[in-house]
Amino acid sequence: MNYCELKNFDVANGPGVRVSLFVSGCTHHCEGCFQPETWDFNYGKPFTEETIEEIIEYLKLDYIKGITLLGGDPLEKSNQGPLLKLLRRIREEFGETKDVWCFTGYEFEKDIIGYMMDEWEDTKELMSYIDILVDGEFELAKKDLMLKFKGSSNQKTIKVKESLASNKIILWDE
C-alpha cells in the first residue's frame, strides 16, 4: 500500500486534533473528488513499519484524540491488510483511548455488511477497530458545505460498533 500524506495535526477530518493518514488507491473516481491524485494505487510513498512507528509516536501526545483514515479509499481490498496491521498496533498501544475514524466510498449496508465482511478476509476485523465510518461516494450534485465532516448529503456518519451490535445504522450526530 502507498499513502500520499500523513498529517500529525489535523482538525478538519473528525473531532479534536487528529492524526490523518491519506492512503493511495480508489476505484470510485467520484466527480468533484478533492484529491483525484489519490485514485492511483501507486501514488505517494510506501506504507512501511517506519510509517506505523511514526503514527504511533504522533498518537502518544495527550491532546491527539485519534486517527482518521481517508484517501483514496482505506477500504479498498488491497489497502485493508496494511491498515489492519496499523489498527491492531494502535489498539495494543492505546486501547480505546484513541478513536478511529474512516472515510470510504463504500456503503455500510450495501457493500461492507452486504458482502465485504463475508468475502474479504480483513474487513470484519478492520471494522471491529473503527469507531466512526463516513460512508458513501461523494456526490457533486449533493455537495453541502454545511455538513460536518462530510462532503455530500448522501453520506452517513456511522457509529460502527453500535450499528454492528444492533443490526441497524446508528448515526453519529455530535
Compute the average pLDDT of residues 87-110: 98
Q: Is the pLDDT of residue 174 over 80?
A: no
pLDDT tens profile 41-84: 999 999 999 999 999 999 999 999 999 999 999 999 999 999 99
Q: Which residues of 129-150 are buried (b: 16+ CB within 10 A; e: fewer)?
A: bbbbbbbbbbbeeeeeeeeebb
| 3 has pLDDT over 70 | yes
Neighbour count for residue 11 (Cβ, 10 Å): 12
DSSP H stretches of helix in the chain? 49-59, 77-94, 117-119, 123-129, 160-166
Between vectors from CA 133 to CA 62 and to CA 109, what angle results, nearest 5°? 160
Fill in the amino acid letter for 125. Answer: E
Is the per-residue pLDDT at 34 higher than 90? no
For range 24-50, the mean pLDDT: 96
Q: What is the pLDDT of residues 114-163, one digit of tens each?
A: 999 999 999 999 999 999 999 999 999 999 999 999 999 999 999 999 99
pTM beyond cutoff 0.85? yes
